[in-house]
């Protein structure tokens, strides 16, 4: 981190600027100097500085003034005040205004190096903290999404997770896109003895075969054009932790053989490498595909499937566990209301029914996005069907055509009516028939607008 | 320069030769650098000594001055030595390196000299523990360091030495 740390020295005495610059350059930093506060601010237009050393006494803008201007522009920057002996009082004052520390000129070598160590440590912690906080928040939010479970199916899954987490057996998680396979994988990791180790996720479907190979196994310098330096692969990074391979159904049979060997031998070579690297990880894989048919078509190796499928967890799609929909919708509503500061109290009964009857091809992720959008466009105190109009009525769950032609017709009319809030003219227009034909069919199927507008 | 322990100078020269493979030549003793004295601090300005040294016309690659007076820089209360990063001139002070144990004094002087020559070779401070290119903020730190560079600094030093034409020589007035 050090070599990239950018320091600025601001002092009206040129010899001080030069001497400090020489010292910091020797200590491996990138250094700028400015002879006045105004000069420093000018440089700040468009440049970031990590650490400032500012002289308190300067003609024109003094150090204290510059300190507050820096804190406005770059609040994360560390500012160290420099003072000649005798004016420590001002330096202490500066600390109250947000300076990180102060030094009395000339500095004791001990004081300077200790101070720099301390400031660098703070900077590192600061950076790590923001990254960690962001990641944690994201994970907590996502993890919370999965734990909103009312349905019997999901409760069973979570008791399975608790049961299987402590072992090191490979787990295969199946389920449609958006059901939260990655979050279940993370939950397993967090409940395992490896929770202190890393959780390393790779989406196998997002990478070409050669990229995936170097991503997983890493490479030695010069292994291929563009391999400028040795890089550790995800397999190595997952040592003592969990390796999560998402979209495992997308990898080639050749890659399956390679991975099978790694799982058996617990060691592998980096691309272009000759000495084996060993890594101890627990493997969790996931796919939205149904693997057994792929095995029949020779697109997936049976031996590899047995290796990864020691424990199987299937997460049902949202439309098969409609009990979870209202609770999830409520959960997302609360979150986005908090984010946007809008006063929204809930959903109309009709809106909830609308959500339940939708087929949710994108599952929990889609539901989350839909609620977010609804919150943004909502005008009143409650979310009604108006706010959910953008839901594709074709995706309402009765859409999947099964049954007799009559049943399909009935279902289609029913769902169109629902999407039009029971408005006959709108529905007729959408169906491409006239009002009287619609009324006749409604009578035939015993459909009432009342049941739609419940 | 000035009243100087010539044994210390010889020890420094020998170490530069042995450790860095530099050809060293000891120049005649120069007068005390009075031009660098700052009465207010009662010390000598290391930067001024470097300037004067760099201005001496001499065919050597590096010039290393050994002084017995205490030296400072505009920002530090004292330094064991001072040098121009990637430049020609360096200075070592024996003032704070002094010890009742003569061998320890010489050892310290050699460490300071090699550290400063490292800077002349363009090497910046190193964070690897037990590397002589680490910054010594006090004697305790200086004494804890071995008389050698870490692998990376060693490699860097060799590379720069090879890059500098011929066999570079060092003269120590
Ligand atoms: Zn140094
Ligand atoms: Zn080093």
CB-based contacts of B47, cutoff 8 Å, min separation 6: A19, B73, B74, B82
Min Cα distance A248 → chain B (Å) is: 42
3-class state of residue A48 by DSSP: coil
Q: Which residues of B33-71 are buried (b: 16+ CB within 10 A; e: fewer)?
A: beebeeeeeebbbbbbbbebbeeeeeebbbbbbbbbbbb
A84-94 average pLDDT score: 74
List of chain B residues whose C-beta atoms are within 8 Å of the C-beta of residue A16: 74-75
Distance CA A315, CA A333 (A): 23
Asked whether residue B173 is assigned to any structural domain, the reply reads: no
- What is residue A437's predicted lDDT score, i.e. its pLDDT? 84
CA of A115 to the centre of ligand 2 (A): 21
Neighbouring C-alpha atoms within 13 Å toward the C-beta of A403:
11
* Whether B124 and A108 lie within 8 Å, measured CB to CB: no
pLDDT at B85 over 50: yes
Band the pLDDT of A139: cuts 50, 70, 90.
low
Asked whether residue A141 is assigned to any structural domain, the reply reads: no
How buried is A184 (Cβ within 10 angstroms: 0-12 exposed, 13-18 middle, 19+ buried)?
buried
CATH of the domain at B126: 3.40.390.10
Band the pLDDT of A454: cuts 50, 70, 90.
very low
Same domain, A78 and A200: no
Distance CA B110, CA B142 (A): 11
pLDDT at B115 over 90: yes
pLDDT at A404 over 80: no
Asked whether residue B108 is assigned to any structural domain, the reply reads: yes
Domain span at residue A379 reads: 318-395
Model confidence over A346-374: pLDDT tens digits?
A: 999 999 998 998 888 889 888 988 998 89
Domain span at residue B80 reads: 6-165
* Whether B77 and A107 lie within 8 Å, measured CB to CB: yes
Taking the CA of B150 as reference, the closest ligand is: 2
Number of domains in chain A: 4
Model confidence over B117-163: pLDDT tens digits?
A: 999 999 999 888 889 999 998 999 999 999 999 888 888 888 888 88
pLDDT at A74 over 80: yes
Same domain, A163 and A281: yes
Asked whether residue A334 is assigned to any structural domain, the reply reads: yes
Number of domains in chain B: 1
Extract the tokens encoding A76: 């994360």
- What is residue A138's predicted lDDT score, i.e. its pLDDT? 65
pLDDT at A398 over 50: no
Asked whether residue A133 is assigned to any structural domain, the reply reads: no
Extract the tokens encoding A304: 């590899």
Element (H, E) at B82: strand B81-83
* Whether B74 and A16 lie within 8 Å, measured CB to CB: yes
Asked whether residue A389 is assigned to any structural domain, the reply reads: yes
**Domain boundary residue among A314, A347, A380?**
A314
A372-397 average pLDDT score: 78
- What is residue A392's predicted lDDT score, i.e. its pLDDT? 63
- What is residue B48's predicted lDDT score, i.e. its pLDDT? 92
* Whether A109 and B137 lie within 8 Å, measured CB to CB: yes
Asked whether residue B110 is assigned to any structural domain, the reply reads: yes
How buried is A370 (Cβ within 10 angstroms: 0-12 exposed, 13-18 middle, 19+ buried)?
buried
Asked whether residue B1 is assigned to any structural domain, the reply reads: no
- What is residue B145's predicted lDDT score, i.e. its pLDDT? 93
Min Cα distance B60 → chain A (Å) is: 23
Model confidence over A289-339: pLDDT tens digits?
A: 999 999 998 889 999 999 999 999 999 999 898 888 998 898 889 888 888
Extract the tokens encoding A415: 């769902």
3-class state of residue A403 by DSSP: coil
List of chain B residues whose C-beta atoms are within 8 Å of the C-beta of residue A108: 76-77
- What is residue A114's predicted lDDT score, i.e. its pLDDT? 83
- What is residue A393's predicted lDDT score, i.e. its pLDDT? 59
Q: Which residues of B touch A (CB under 8 A)?
A: 47, 72-79, 85, 119, 124-125, 127, 135, 137-138
CA of B154 to the centre of ligand 2 (A): 7
Model confidence over A16-64: pLDDT tens digits?
A: 999 999 999 998 888 999 999 999 999 988 888 889 999 988 888 989 8
* Whether A105 and B75 lie within 8 Å, measured CB to CB: yes
* Whether B73 and A19 lie within 8 Å, measured CB to CB: yes
Same domain, A173 and A288: yes
CATH of the domain at A328: 1.10.8.60
**Domain boundary residue among A267, A289, A314?**
A314
Asked whether residue A138 is assigned to any structural domain, the reply reads: no
Asked whether residue A132 is assigned to any structural domain, the reply reads: no
Asked whether residue B171 is assigned to any structural domain, the reply reads: no
Same domain, A337 and A308: no
Min Cα distance A198 → chain B (Å) is: 26
3-class state of residue A106 by DSSP: coil
CATH of the domain at A77: 3.40.50.2300
- What mean pLDDT is reported for chain A? 84
Same domain, A43 and A63: yes
Mean pLDDT lowest among A152-166, B100-114, B152-166: B152-166
Q: Is residue B135 within 8 Å of residue B125, measured between CB atoms?
A: yes
Angle between helices B102-120 and B6-20 (to 10 degrees): 50
Band the pLDDT of A145: cuts 50, 70, 90.
low
Min Cα distance B69 → chain A (Å) is: 18
Asked whether residue A220 is assigned to any structural domain, the reply reads: yes
Same domain, A242 and A161: yes
Taking the CA of A24 as reference, the closest ligand is: 1
CA of A118 to the centre of ligand 2 (A): 21
Neighbours of A389 (CB within 10 A): 14
How buried is B82 (Cβ within 10 angstroms: 0-12 exposed, 13-18 middle, 19+ buried)?
buried
Higher per-residue confidence, A122 vs A22 = A22
Model confidence over B1-46: pLDDT tens digits?
A: 778 889 999 999 999 999 888 888 898 888 889 999 998 889 999 9
CA of A300 to the centre of ligand 2 (A): 51
Location of structure tokens 């002879």: A35
A396 closest CA partner among A408, A384, A378, A383: A408
B103 is catalytic: no
List of chain A residues whose C-beta atoms are within 8 Å of the C-beta of residue B42: none
């Amino acid at each position: 981190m050090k070599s990239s740390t950018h320091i600025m020295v601001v002092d009206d005495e040129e010899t001080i600027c030069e001497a400090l610059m020489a010292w910091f350059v020797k200590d491996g930093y990138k250094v700028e100097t400015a002879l006045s506060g105004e000069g420093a601010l000018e440089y700040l237009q468009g440049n970031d500085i990590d650490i400032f050393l500012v002289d308190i006494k300067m003609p024109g803008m003094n150090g204290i003034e510059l300190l507050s201007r820096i804190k406005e522009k770059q609040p994360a920057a560390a500012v160290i005040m420099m003072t000649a002996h005798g004016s420590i009082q001002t330096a202490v004052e500066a600390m109250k205004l947000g300076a990180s520390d102060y030094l009395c000129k000339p500095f004791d070598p001990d004081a300077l190096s200790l101070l720099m160590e301390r400031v660098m440590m703070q900077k590192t912690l600061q950076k790590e903290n923001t990254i960690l906080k962001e990641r944690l928040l994201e994970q907590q939010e996502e993890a919370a999404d999965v734990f909103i479970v009312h349905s019997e199916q999901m409760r069973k899954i979570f008791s399975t997770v608790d049961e299987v987490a402590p072992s090191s057996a490979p787990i295969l998680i199946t389920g449609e896109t958006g059901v939260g396979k990655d979050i279940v994988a993370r939950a397993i990791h967090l409940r395992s003895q490896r929770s202190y180790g890393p959780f390393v996720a790779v989406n196998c479907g997002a990478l070409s075969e050669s990229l995936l190979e170097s991503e997983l196994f890493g490479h030695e310098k010069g292994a291929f054009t563009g391999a400028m330096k040795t890089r550790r692969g995800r397999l190595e990074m997952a040592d003592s932790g969990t390796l999560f391979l998402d979209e495992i159904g997308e990898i080639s049979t050749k890659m399956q053989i390679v991975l099978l060997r790694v799982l058996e031998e617990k060691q592998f070579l980096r691309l272009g490498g000759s000495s084996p690297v060993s890594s101890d990880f627990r493997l969790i894989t996931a796919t939205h595909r149904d693997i057994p048919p792929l095995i029949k078509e020779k697109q997936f190796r049976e031996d590899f499937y047995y290796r990864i499928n020691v424990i199987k967890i299937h997460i049902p799609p949202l439309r098969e566990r409609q009990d979870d929909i209202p609770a999830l919708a409520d959960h997302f509503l609360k979150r986005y209301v908090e984010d946007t500061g809008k006063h929204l109290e809930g959903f109309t009964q009709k809106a909830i029914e609308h959500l339940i009857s939708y087929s949710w091809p994108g599952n929990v992720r889609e539901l989350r996005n839909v609620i977010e959008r609804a919150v943004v466009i909502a005008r009143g105190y409650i979310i009604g069907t108006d706010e959910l109009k953008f839901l594709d009525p074709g995706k309402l769950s009765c859409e999947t055509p099964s049954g007799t032609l009559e049943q399909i017709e009935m279902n289609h009319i029913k769902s169109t009516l629902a999407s039009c809030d029971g408005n006959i003219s709108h529905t007729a227009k959408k169906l491409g028939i006239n009002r009287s034909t619609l009324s006749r069919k409604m009578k035939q199927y015993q459909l009432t607008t009342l049941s739609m507008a419940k | 320069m000035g009243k100087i322990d010539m044994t210390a100078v010889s020890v420094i020269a020998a170490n530069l030769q042995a450790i860095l493979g530099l050809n060293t030549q000891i120049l005649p003793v120069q007068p005390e650098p009075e031009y660098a004295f700052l009465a207010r601090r009662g010390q000598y300005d290391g930067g001024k000594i470097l300037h004067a040294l760099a201005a001496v016309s001499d065919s050597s690659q590096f010039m290393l001055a050994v002084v017995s007076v205490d030296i400072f820089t505009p920002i530090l209360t004292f330094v064991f030595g001072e040098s121009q990063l990637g430049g020609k001139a360096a200075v070592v002070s024996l003032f704070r390196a002094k010890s009742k144990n003569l061998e320890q004094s010489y050892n310290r002087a050699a460490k300071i000299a090699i550290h400063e020559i490292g800077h002349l070779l363009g090497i910046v401070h190193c964070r690897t523990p037990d590397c002589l290119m680490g910054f010594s903020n006090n004697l305790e730190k200086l004494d804890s360091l071995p008389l050698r560079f870490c692998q990376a600094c060693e490699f860097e030093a060799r590379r720069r030495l090879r890059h500098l034409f011929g066999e570079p020589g060092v003269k120590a007035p």
